[in-house]
Each structure stands twice: as structure tokens, then as C-alpha cells.
Amino acid sequence: MAVVLETISLVKQFNGVIASDNVSLQIEKGARQALIGPNGAGKTTLINLLTGVSRPTSGSILLDGEDITDLSTHKRVRLGIVRTFQINQLFSDLTPLETIGLAVSERRGQGLDWWRIVGSRPDLVAEVVEILERFHLTDVIDKRTAVLPYGKQRLLEIAVAIACRPRVLLLDEPAAGVPEEERHEILAAVAALPSDVSVLLIEHDMDIVFSFADRISVLVNGALFVEGTPEEVAHDARVKAVYLGEELVDA
Amino acid sequence: MTPPPIAVRTATEWLSARARWHPLEIVFWFAAFAAIYLFPARHLILTEIAWLGLFALSLDLILGYAGIISLGHAAFFGFGAYTAALLAKHEIIEEPVLALLISGCAAMALGFVTSFLVLRGSDLTRLMVTLGVALVLRELANRYGWLTGGADGLQGVSIKPVLGVFRFDMFGHTGYTYSLTVLFILFLVARRLVNSPFGLSLLSVKSNPLRSSAIGISVDARLVAIYTVAAGYAGIAGALLAQTTAFASLEVFSFDRSADLLLVLIIGGAGYLYGGLIGAIIFKFMQDYLSALTPQYWPFWIGLALVVIVLVGRDRITSWTTPIRLMAARLNWRALARRSAERL
């Protein structure tokens, strides 16, 4: 399989503290990869480096072999590196319809279009409706995002990212904080992501990780600790030591 | 469990709901133009309302739609005013409409250059930076008295007839028609702009810049763009003042003017375009009425009104009218939903 996104010896230091330690990670086309690790292992730092929110101290990031280390966040999004947020980052005064409409029009490069009324392109609206249907948001399209149930907001988080048509999707704990009865809807949405999109899932919930991923990378103290199939990781003695006392897989 | 599908046509209607003309809007503009014939004796104050409304509209574009707060918007107003006055005085561009456009462009250029100063930082930083820019411009105008007339103001400006036909008069008849027409045209442009994909992206930047960049929006570029446009609007408002009074003085840059402007917009409510216009009407008539009543102390009442408004608005000073507008929007949407249900 072809590697889509790759980091080479990525290092990030904050005032001498090493948050990312020589990380060389590869994400293949169509991957279902999970990134796990204890709190403070540097998962969020790594996401920030991949999306361009912060710059690495050294090392580089390649997309299809092209160096994108110095590109800004919005340019990386245009190239197809899209993320969701662990804590909802939505537009509270906009409706889901407007939010998705915005994301689609930006992706199509029509964001500077200032003379056209929103919604005047039928093909754009059709795409927006299709995304809203796919993520079960049609019953709330006209509600302000701020008043949506939490589960719907989490769905919208993923839907916005999909509207950007990602090639690599970084999912940061998609089901975090979602009540049990709404959880399956999120997980179904994650499972139904297009197969050509490469997904890197950051997750604490091992049930989700092991049901979703075909490859798992374990991050400890900023460094890649172990990588392998779920089977290999589950039976790795070092991983067990790190997650001491935690049951990785239900026997 | 799966919610029902939705028709593309319905979605289109909902998406363009913000852009639909409300009957009250039509009444508003009809009344404004009717005032040309109905209140000829009030044309001087109406002219002031028109350029103040345009000035406040300009602030609304950056504050209400992009979340950039400013205490120095008079910088652009003054720059436009002096440009228009100088163009007329030195007979460089004699036709007022063309001079107005050039003054707007000059203010836009200034807005573009200074926009990079407001990209970073908190509201407080922005307040200080914008305040500082206006102070600097005022001092420059003071310093270069040979050009600006210094503390005496720019004397001896005479404005030629609009389009070579409509002569300015001392009662403000031409002035009001001219200012109102300019305001109306620029309002239509602003209305179009805020209801476009670009306008939606501004709202998103105001609401959550982190997410905006995560969907591929260059936040800085959008802020630069709207700040530049708003500066142009402010410049044209200033040019209207200069042209309708045939005068420009250092006062166009004053801190009071920027502060009053913020007050005007807060009175009317930011973020729906009419706030600045309604605020300008209330502010000017209050000023007119109260200063006739108590010439010295009218700011007392304005101050009191401000305190009450901010307390009513509580969490957000810019939108004490939000609950009312949300209710109006809900009614509007309900009607839409009913109509689309009938179609099915």
C-alpha cells in the first residue's frame, strides 16, 4: 500500500520538555489506524504538528512524498489533511446546514465569492443535503448548533470534516463524552467513513480502538513505543506494562 | 432512528433565509426616501444621520460580522473626509461622486495597511491599536498644517454640483438625497456581501477561528479583506460629511467620534446591518432633543441609556437585540417549514 502521510524524525520541544520524540509515523492509503497512549503521551502534540497548528523543532512531514512541514493549517486542509476535535469546535450561532454549506463552499474554492447568495448553487446544496443525511442531521438542520444535543454536535464535528473531503482524517476521540445511548450512532458514522480516506483515530476507549483499527501505534512519553496489528499490540508485554492494570482486550 | 430525508429545495430555502427581504426592511427604506419629500425642514439632521449610519454600518461589518472591535474607526472616516475636502479645494477632482469614490479608495488603502495590526491579539489589544492609529493620524494632520489647515480646519472648500447637475444648498436638500442614495447603494452591497459564502465565512471566523482554519479558511486573509472594505465604507462616510458641509477639521479624527460610533452601534445592536442605521437615528434625535432640553448635560442621558442597554444585553454588549432577532428568525423559519410541508 502507498504511504499517504509520513513523518520523519519529528521532534517538538516546549522549553526543553520533549513532547514529541523522534516520531516517524506512516499512514497508508485507506488505513484504519489508531493512535493510543496514556495521558500526556503526546498524542495531541502530534495532531497539532500534523495539522500545522504548531511547528516541529526538527524533522519533517510529507504528504505523498512532498514536504509540507512549513505549510499553514488551512493550506494543509486544502491538500486533504483534516481533523476533528476532542472538544467540540463548532460555530455555535450557525445551523448545521450553514456549517456544512460553508465547509463545502470553502472546499470548492468559493469562499471569497461575495456577490452570490448562500445556497444559490443547486449542486452545492445537493452535496450538503447528502452529507447531512449521511450523518443523520436532517432533523436539526435549522437549529443553532449551540442548542443541539451533544451527540448531534459530535456527529456534526465529523460531518464538517467529511465535507472538506479529506484524504487523511485525524479523528480526535470522536465519541468522547457522548452518553451511552447515543454512542452507537457515532461509532456507526466512524465505521461508515469512505474506504479511500485514511483515518488516524486517537482514542482512549479500547473497545472502539480494537473494533475499528487494523493497525495500532502506541505513543509513550512522546515517542512511538510499539506499532503493529491489534493482535500484536494486545499481546505485547511492554504495552501491557504501560497500561498496567488496564485490560486491553476483553478475553 | 434515522431522521427523514430533506428536499434540496427546502434546504436551499433555509440556506438563503437570511438573505430574504423582510417587509419591515422595505418599510424602512421607503420611509427614508419618503423623508426627502415629507420632512424638508429636517434635511440637515437627516443628512447627519445618513453619514453617521453609513459610518456605523462600516463598524458593524468588522464588529458584528468579523468580531473586530475598534476604538479608532475615525481614522478612516477622517482620512476619507480630508481626501474629499482636499480633492475639492485644490480642484483635482471636482465632481463629488467621483471624488467620493476616490476618497473611499484612499481609506481602503489605509485600512489594508493597518489591517495587519489587528490580526493578532485580544479585544483589548485591538482597542489600543485602533485607538493608537487614529491618534497618530490626528497628530499627523495637526503637524502638516500647510496641507490640512491644522487646528483651524480646511477652509475655503467649495463643492461642485453632484453629477454636474445637483447643486448643494444650505438647507441640506441635495445633501440628504445624495447621502441617502450613497447609503442605500452601499447598504445593498453590504447586504449582499454578508449573505454570501464570504459573509458566512466571516461569521465562522468570528465564532471560532480555530475551526475556521481547520476547514481550510485563511482566517487572516478574511480579516484583512473585511477590514479593508469597512475602512472604505468609513472613508466614504467621512467624505460625505466633508462634501455636505464643505469643511474638514481635525475633529474628524477625534477619539470622541470613534467612541460615539461604538455607542451608536451598541444602541442599535451589531450583526444585522440595521443596527448602525437605527442607532444613528436614535443617537442623533436623542442628541438633538436632549441638547435642546439640557444643552450641557445631554451626554448624561446617553450614558444612562448605554448602561441600561449593556445590562439588558448582559453577556454580549454587541447584541442586546439578539433575543428579538432570534425570535423573528424562528417565526420566519416556521413559516418556511410550513410552506415546505404543504408542498410535500
Measured CA to CA, the distance from residue A32 to residue A169 in angstroms comes to 10
Half-sphere exposure for B153 (CA within 13 Å, toward CB): 15
Cross-chain residue pair B207–A93, CB shorter than 8 Å = yes
What is the pLDDT, as a whole number, of residue B120?
A: 83
* Res A251 pLDDT > 50: no
What is the pLDDT, as a whole number, of residue B152?
A: 85
Angle in degrees, CA B37, B40, B42, rounded to 5: 130
CA B58 to chain A, closest CA, distance in angstroms equals: 16
Q: How many CB pairs under 8 A join A and B?
A: 151
What is the pLDDT, as a whole number, of residue A118?
A: 87
Task: Say which of A85, A118, A163 has its CB closest to residue B195.
Answer: A118
CA B344 to chain A, closest CA, distance in angstroms equals: 16
Give the chain A residue whose CA is nearest to the CA of B216.
Answer: A74
What is the pLDDT, as a whole number, of residue B156?
A: 84
CA B310 to chain centre: 20
Q: What is the pTM of this model?
A: 0.90
Residues with Cβ within 8 Å of A176's Cβ and at least 6 positions away in sequence, in order, are A86, A87, A154, A204
| Average per-residue pLDDT for chain B | 88
Could you say which residues from 107 to 166 on chain A have a Cβ atom under 8 Å away from some Cβ of chain B? 107, 110-120, 122, 125-126, 128-129, 132-133, 136-142, 160, 163-164
Cross-chain residue pair B15–A97, CB shorter than 8 Å = yes
Measured CA to CA, the distance from residue A233 to residue A228 in angstroms comes to 6
**DSSP of chain A:** --EEEEEEEEEEEETTEEEEEEE--EEETT-EEEEE--TTSSHHHHHHHHHTSS--SEEEEEETTEE-TT--HHHHHHHTEEE--SS----TTS-HHHHHHHHHHHHTT-TT--SSPTT--HHHHHHHHHHHHHTT-GGGTTS-GGGS-HHHHHHHHHHHHHHT--SEEEEE-TTTT--HHHHHHHHHHHHTS-TTSEEEEE-S-HHHHHHH-SEEEEEETTEEEEEE-HHHHHT-HHHHHHTTT--SS--
Amino acid identity for residue B280 in this structure = A
Cell numbers linked to A63? 504528504
Whether the CB of B8 is below 8 Å from some CB of chain A: the reply is yes
* Res B248 pLDDT > 80: yes
CA B138 to chain A, closest CA, distance in angstroms equals: 33
Whether the CB of B170 is below 8 Å from some CB of chain A: the reply is no
Nearest to B194 by CA among B28, B23, B66, B22: B66
Measured CA to CA, the distance from residue A120 to residue B199 in angstroms comes to 14
CA A194 to chain B, closest CA, distance in angstroms equals: 18
Compute how many other C-beta atoms are within 10 angstroms of the C-beta atom of residue B104.
Answer: 26
pLDDT tens digits for range B215-235:
999 999 999 999 999 999 999
Set of chain A residues whose Cβ sits within 8 Å of the Cβ of B198:
111-114
Whether the CB of A73 is below 8 Å from some CB of chain B: the reply is yes
CB B63 within 8 A of CB B276: no
Whether the CB of B119 is below 8 Å from some CB of chain A: the reply is no
- Looking at chain B, the whole-number percentage of residues with pLDDT higher than 70 is 90
What is the value of ipTM here, to two decimals? Answer: 0.91
Give the chain B residue whose CA is nearest to the CA of A161.
Answer: B215
* Res B334 pLDDT > 70: no
Cross-chain residue pair B217–A126, CB shorter than 8 Å = no
* Res B294 pLDDT > 90: no
* Res A250 pLDDT > 60: no
Set of chain B residues whose Cβ sits within 8 Å of the Cβ of A96:
none
Give the chain B residue whose CA is nearest to the CA of A91.
Answer: B207
Whether the CB of B289 is below 8 Å from some CB of chain A: the reply is no
**Mean pLDDT of the B265-286 span:** 91
Whether the CB of B165 is below 8 Å from some CB of chain A: the reply is no
Domains defined along chain A, listed by start: 3-93+165-242 (3.40.50.300)
Measured CA to CA, the distance from residue A82 to residue A16 in angstroms comes to 29
Question: A64-78, A108-122, B194-208: lowest mean pLDDT where?
Answer: A108-122
Q: Higher confidence at residue B204 or residue B148?
A: B204
Could you say which residues from 175 to 204 on chain B have a Cβ atom under 8 Å away from some Cβ of chain A? 192-193, 195-201, 203-204
Give the chain A residue whose CA is nearest to the CA of B204.
Answer: A91
**Mean pLDDT of the B24-44 span:** 94
CA B93 to chain A, closest CA, distance in angstroms equals: 30
Could you say which residues from 200 to 259 on chain B have a Cβ atom under 8 Å away from some Cβ of chain A? 200-201, 203-204, 207-208, 210-211, 213-219, 225
Cross-chain residue pair A82–B208, CB shorter than 8 Å = no
Measured CA to CA, the distance from residue A179 to residue B127 in angstroms comes to 42
Domains defined along chain B, listed by start: 8-343 (1.10.3470)
Measured CA to CA, the distance from residue B329 to residue B344 in angstroms comes to 23
* Res A7 pLDDT > 60: yes
CA A15 to chain centre: 27
Set of chain A residues whose Cβ sits within 8 Å of the Cβ of B119:
none
pLDDT tens digits for range A13-38:
988 889 999 999 999 999 999 999 88
* Res A188 pLDDT > 50: yes
**Mean pLDDT of the A125-150 span:** 92
Cross-chain residue pair A74–B8, CB shorter than 8 Å = no
Give the chain B residue whose CA is nearest to the CA of A84.
Answer: B214
Cross-chain residue pair B196–A114, CB shorter than 8 Å = yes
Question: If you search the block for the grid coordinates 450561532, which residue do you land on?
Answer: A93
- DSSP annotation of B146 reads H
Nearest to A106 by CA among A48, A170, A163, A166: A163
Preferred mutation among B2, B9, B15 to probe A, highest tally of A CBs within 10 A: B15
pLDDT tens digits for range B41-94:
999 999 999 999 999 999 999 999 999 999 999 999 999 999 999 999 888 888
Measured CA to CA, the distance from residue A212 to residue A35 in angstroms comes to 12
CA B149 to chain A, closest CA, distance in angstroms equals: 40
Task: Say which of A82, A106, A118 has its CB closest to residue B19.
Answer: A118
Give the chain A residue whose CA is nearest to the CA of B206.
Answer: A91
What is the pLDDT, as a whole number, of residue A181?
A: 84
Cross-chain residue pair A94–B210, CB shorter than 8 Å = no
What is the pLDDT, as a whole number, of residue A15?
A: 87
